[in-house]
Amino acid sequence: MNRPYTIATLGSHSALQILKGAHDEGFKTLAVANRDTETLYRSFAFIDEVIGVDSYSEFPSLMGELEKRKVIIVPHGSFVAYLSLEEHKKMTIPYFGNKAVLDWEASRELQREWLTKAGIMMPRQFKSGAEIDRPVIVKLYGAGGGKGYMFIRDAHDFEKRSKELKKAYTIQEYIVGVPLYIHYFYSPLQDRVEIMSMDRRYETNVDSLGRIPAAAQEGMDVSPSYVVVGNQPVSLRESMLAEALRMGENVVKVSKEIAGPKGLFGAFCIETIITPDMQFFCMEISARIVAGTNLFIDGSPYSYLNYTEPMSTGRRIAREIKNALLTNNLRLVLDDSSRL
Ligand code: ATP
């Protein structure tokens, strides 16, 4: 390919994976980095250009300059953290993904409607502390990476601890099981969902409590927290793979009914907890590349089944854009607001 487009992203989250993948697929690459991270991104040979900004919130002001070049933006988790939904929608620069899905992802209520329509089980939601009749997890809105989440045993426990809650929150049934984050890719060109990889998060201190016997915990002032500090690769019991794939396919199918004909495409992740009767409960869906895919920059056991070369999620995104360009279908993989 004669490298007509540059793939650009913010310098954080999964930028290295996205840009390495873009480079391997023959694109030029650009990172917008802040003063702290500029040197890091400049140190990699596969990144052709780095634009330094004082703060990521300056990103929208770069649009004029980026539009002059043939740039395609690949968003990741930090876009959601640094740019508001309105700012996302205002951008007319070519954008990989469907922005209509963002509204469905941003609201816990709409997410629930979407996932339930897709036949996916979700933990029960409680409207108030008084309704609590089982162990719950209290989740703060906008909390990144499980920070500030609380495990609550019952309504009485909630009453005692609710004064610690300074931000808006939701109360969700606590599912006892193992967490599994499934990374998918939906290709609109091939109308096909692929499982790219899977991970589990390594969370402090909930993942260490099992190392202290329950009897010894009694009287200790320790309660679980859910702060993510890392990710571990997982392969799923093969008999459960068909269900995992079905969930991904159903989520895509329903997204086309609720978020415009293009629906959800590209990378996404269903965050699940699996109970002892092997039931998947979905905690949340992320409608873009998630940081857990960084474990698989060199590919995963699952991507190896589909590709005999290293295929990260970042590279898969670039491959889709490349295939769209080669078949004159670029619009199919960009948000409708994209000005080409
Ligand atoms: P991010 O937005 O970065 O994905 P988050 O802040 O939305 O993270 P979640 O993924 O919703 O956080 O949850 C963080 C952790 O809390 C999970 O990995 C899991 O350990 C625990 N958790 C969340 N919901 C439940 C639940 N219903 N039952 C049991 N544990 C839960």
Q: How far is CA 34 from the centre of its chain?
A: 22
CATH number for position 154: 3.30.1490.20
pLDDT tens per residue across span 160-183: 998 888 888 999 999 999 999 999
Asked if 73 and 94 touch (Cβ cutoff 8 Å), the reply is yes
- Supply the residue whose CA is at minimum distance from atom 23 of ligand 1: 283
Contact 158, 136 (CB under 8 A): yes
Preceding peptide of 205 cis, ω within 30°: yes
Which residue has a Cα nearest atom 2 of ligand 1? 144
Residue 175 has which token pair?
A: 């599912």
pLDDT of residue 222: 83
284, 285, 286, 289, best to mutate for ligand 1 pocket (most atoms within 8 Å of CB)? 284
Which of 90, 82, 94 shows the shortest CA–CA distance to 30?
94
261, with CB counted inside 10 A (0-12, 13-18, 19+), is exposed
pLDDT score, position 80 = 83
Gap from CA of 211 to ligand 1 centroid (Å): 21
Ligand 1 is surrounded, with C-beta below 6 A, by 123, 137, 143-146, 149, 172-175, 179, 201, 203, 226, 271, 273, 283-284
Q: One-letter amino acid identity for 96?
A: F
Q: Is residue 292 a part of any domain in this protein?
A: no
Cite the DSSP H helix spans in 47-184: 63-68, 77-82, 85-90, 100-106, 108-117, 155-161
Ligand 1 atom 9, closest CA: 146
Contact in structure between 110 and 54 (CB atoms under 8 Å) = no
296 is a domain residue? no
Q: Which atom of ligand 1 is nearest to the CA of 143?
A: 6
Mutation pick for ligand 1 pocket among 108, 183, 273, 285 (CB with most ligand atoms within 8 Å): 273
How would you write the pLDDT of the chain (340 residues) with one tens digit per residue? 555 899 999 999 999 999 999 999 999 999 999 999 999 999 999 999 999 999 988 888 999 889 888 999 999 999 888 888 898 889 999 999 999 999 999 988 999 999 999 999 999 999 999 999 999 999 988 756 778 889 999 999 999 998 888 888 999 999 999 999 999 999 999 999 999 999 999 999 999 998 998 888 888 888 889 999 999 999 999 999 999 999 999 999 999 999 999 999 999 999 999 999 999 999 999 999 999 999 999 999 999 999 989 999 999 999 999 999 999 999 999 999 999 8
Residue bearing the CA closest to ligand 1, atom 24: 283
In a domain, 143, yes or no: yes
Answer whether residue 82 is part of any domain: no
Asked if residue 259 belongs to a domain, the reply is no
pLDDT of residue 81: 84
* 159 in any annotated domain: yes
DSSP-based three-state secondary structure for 317: helix
pLDDT for the residue 138: 94
The predicted structure's pLDDT at residue 164 = 86
Range of the domain at 142: 125-173
- Specify the ligand 1 atom closest to the Cα of 206: 20
How many CB atoms neighbour CB 213 within 10 A? 8
In a domain, 136, yes or no: yes
Number of domains in the chain: 1
> Distance between CA 113 and CA 101 in Å, rounded?
13
Q: What H or E segment, with its residue span, contains residue 322?
A: helix 313-326
162 located within any domain: yes
Gyration radius from the chain CA atoms: 21
Whole-prediction pTM = 0.94
Tell me the CA–centroid distance for residue 259 and ligand 1, in Å: 25
Give residue 1's pLDDT.
Answer: 54
pLDDT in tens, 196-206: 999 999 999 99
